[in-house]
Amino acid sequence: MRSGRRVYAAMSVAAAFLVCCFCVASPTALAGEDDEDPTVIVFSGRDIWRNGAFAYGGFLHAPGGFEQDGLMFKLLLSGGVYRYTSQGLGQDVIGVEGVTQILPGWRIKRAGIESKFFFGLDIERHNLYPSDPGNRLRGTDIGARFTLELWTEPSATTMIAANLSLSTIATNNSAWLAYGWRVPTEFIEPFYAGPEVQYFAADGYRHLRLGAHITGLKTEDYEWSAAGGLAQDSEGRSSPYLRLGFITRQ
């Protein structure tokens, strides 16, 4: 177990080193000069439901700006605690996870649809209490991850957003789809609100969510998003879920 922790720590340090090199290679990227288009988006969020609580953060860097097609780089760090019932052990297991994703990518906008494609390194560390030999998400794993993010505004008052993420680690994957209507307000900028559906899966586990979201709620330097609804997994457990996130552009 200690060797696995050392591997995860070493890979996380390597990720930080690559990030530093990337930022040094683009010294104006983090400067956030007022007369230039933003080239960095910093993001963070929280996610909670009956059987898990997670936090994530990271940044997205586009050397040419976010309004131009071209190269992008995404770094995501996340961690959390979750619970599931092990069929092999016949009891509940508590899992603690840490995830690092290092994802080069490319942005393309065609016919009003903005697409972001990412493919890179996926590093995950899962500690299980008690240990569950039948769970493939156990210990330290290094794999590849592909991510697709889509955004379009079919009309002046509507939006559609979606993303898909696939990993070679224990075949874990996720998908999200949301539709929204622009909500005009008197005191703040308009934002979108509407229904969403979200799906998570890994080897032997499924998780489905149906709810509502708020997207693009701007307050000074931050842009907020939130969602809530009902979640149910393949073990038959269900509960409300809540997700909160924000981004800032630099």
- What's the pLDDT tens digit per position in 128-180? 999 999 888 889 999 999 999 999 999 999 999 999 999 999 889 999 999 99
pLDDT > 70: what percent of the chain?
86
Average pLDDT, stretch 192-210? Answer: 95
Domain count, the chain: 1
Best CA proximity match to 105, nearest among 76, 162, 167, 147: 147
Q: Is 27 helix (H, G, I), strand (E, B) or coil?
A: coil
Q: Which two tokens stand for residue 15?
A: 């990720």
Kindly tell me if the per-residue pLDDT of 220 is higher than 90.
no
CATH number, residue 166: 2.40.160.40
Kindly tell me if the per-residue pLDDT of 26 is higher than 50.
no
pLDDT in tens, 35-69: 468 999 999 999 999 999 999 999 999 999 998 99
Best CA proximity match to 142, nearest among 43, 2, 10: 10
- Please tell me the pTM assigned to this model: 0.84
**Host domain of residue 96:** 2-249
Mean residue pLDDT across the chain: 88
How many angstroms separate the first and last alpha carbons of the chain? Answer: 40
∠ CA 210-179-238, rounded to 5°: 5
Average pLDDT, stretch 191-198? Answer: 98
Cα–Cα distance measured from residue 247 to residue 44, given in angstroms and rounded to the nearest whole number: 7
Cα–Cα distance measured from residue 62 to residue 55, given in angstroms and rounded to the nearest whole number: 24
Q: Name the residue with tokens 């569950």.
A: 132
Per-residue H/E/C for 202-247 = ECCEEEEEEEEEEEEEEECCEEEEEEEEEEEECCCCEEEEEEEEEE
Cα–Cα distance measured from residue 209 to residue 113, given in angstroms and rounded to the nearest whole number: 25
Kindly tell me if the per-residue pLDDT of 110 is higher than 70.
yes
Kindly tell me if the per-residue pLDDT of 3 is higher than 70.
no
